Structure 1
Amino acid sequence: MSTLNPAPEADAAKRVLPPKPMAAALVALSFTLLLYLVELVDVILPGDLDQGGIHSRSLSGLDGVLFAPVLHAGWSHLFANTVPVLVFSFLAMAAGIGRFALVTAIIWVVSGLGVWLIGPANGVTVGASGLAFGWLAYLLVRGLFNRAAGQILVAVVLLGVWSGMLAGLLPGNPGVSWQGHVFGALAGILAAWLTTRRSRKAAPAPAGNLEG
């Protein structure tokens, strides 16, 4: 009788270890500082970097999907996004830098394409709030997909603290891209589902016993 078990070293090598809190905080802070640096450059330069945002349903403005999250319509806009970006990006890194990068890429692209498809005509959409809503939605639902009690508890706490932010999903506030918020949240849910499904497929099969 022999037992087949995956080699511990090989199994460990497949995992992306979660970052230490200090490393996660450094990544979140670095991204936020990047946003401030871009806004400072926008203020100093004679040009208007915000024109590089998303121009809805314009082929020439489609590349704004890549740049819009790092652009902001003034310091007050950036200040409003700072705390959500810091908190949600830090918490979203709990499962590892690799998964965080994948989740962020999904939110970045899907929220941007959503704005490009149904955003207001003759306007330019910029800001990291789509990312913030995406990360928040990801954090709220990932525990349901993972069936993880700890993640569900985190979601309950976040919902209690940030429930007022969900009002941003509703249209009616002039100058606020509810489209970016809605598609960001939908992208966060999609990212939670996709990454959970990917993790289950990558999980090693249970050890089997062979008689012989």
Structure 2
Amino acid sequence: MRFRPLVILLSVIALTEATNLLSGRAFNGYGIEPRSIGGLFGIPLAPFLHGNLFHFLSNLFPLIILGALVCRLGNKVFSMVTAEIILLGGLAVWLFGRGDSIHIGASGLVFGWFGFLMARGWFAKNLIDPLVAVVVFIFYGGSMFWGLLPVASYISWESHLFGCIAGVLAAWGTSSGSQRST
């Protein structure tokens, strides 16, 4: 099944959200705490944790849409790109993020997939990827641009920025040859 890894990822995020909600957000302290040794553990955990139900729901629709567009390239590409965005983006947040906060949420992954799809359109040697990039930009470009700016102290613009950069790097890394596999 082409979308299996996305369905599994979304299910784990949703189950984590339900557990975190029922626990009174007890797990949110396990996000990325920049430049602290304990904060390193938050790198793979941050995309699964959300500050509140609205935060989770705000990420859910773009996770489904952008994730499905990445999944169309095959399960191997989806898994590698997703891991690279979470790990590289998270490490950059740990290194350079504001130290007075704990960074949580799947929006770093959302911005990473956005960056990946935009850059893949640029690097593409076919007609489909640039078309996908244009459509994604039309629907998400404006909100993604504003999300890269430090407009509110409670929003991790660092996760957005570094997720997007990690996505661009992932696109560059997958741009040579055909990456379509299941």
TM-score normalised by structure 2 residue count? 0.91
Bigger drift between 125-134 and 169-178 goes to 169-178
- 1:24-173 matches, within 5 Å, as 24=3, 26-45=4-23, 48-166=26-144, 167-173=146-152
Farther-moved stretch of structure 1 (40-49 vs 81-90): 40-49
Aligned pairs, number: 178
Q: Shift of the alpha carbon at 1:165?
A: 1.9
- Per the TM alignment, residue 39 of structure 1 is displaced from its structure 2 partner at its CA by 1.4
Residue in structure 1 matching 2:170, options 186, 191, 208: 191
Equivalent in the alignment of 2:161: 182
- 2:30 touches 2:45 (CA, 8 Å); kept in 1? yes
Q: Which amino acid aligns with 2:171?
A: A
Look up the SS of the partner of 1:73 in the other structure: coil
How many angstroms does 1:46 deviate by? 6.1
Summarize deviations over 1:119-168 as a string: whole Å, max 9, x none. 11131110000000010111112122122221101111111111222210
CA distance in 1, matches of 2:123, 2:41: 32
The two structures, once aligned, show a CA RMSD in angstroms of: 1.7
Judge conservation of contact 2:70–2:113 (CA < 8 Å) in 1.
Answer: yes
Q: Which has the larger radius of gyration?
A: 1
Higher strand proportion, which one? 1
User: Which position in structure 2 is the counterpart of 1:207?
Assistant: none
Q: Deviations over 1:76-101 (max 9, x none)?
A: 10011000101111100111100111
Decide whether the 8 Å contact of 2:5 with 2:79 is kept in 1.
no
Q: Percent of aligned positions with the same letter in both sequences?
A: 35
TM-score by length of 1: 0.79
Gaps of 5+ in 2: none
Cα distance in 2 for residues equivalent to 1:40 and 1:151: 35
* Partner SS for 1:156: helix
Q: Which runs of 5+ in 1 are unaligned?
A: 1-18, 203-212
Distance 2:141 2:88 in 1: 23
Higher mean alpha-carbon deviation, 160-169 vs 69-78, is at: 160-169
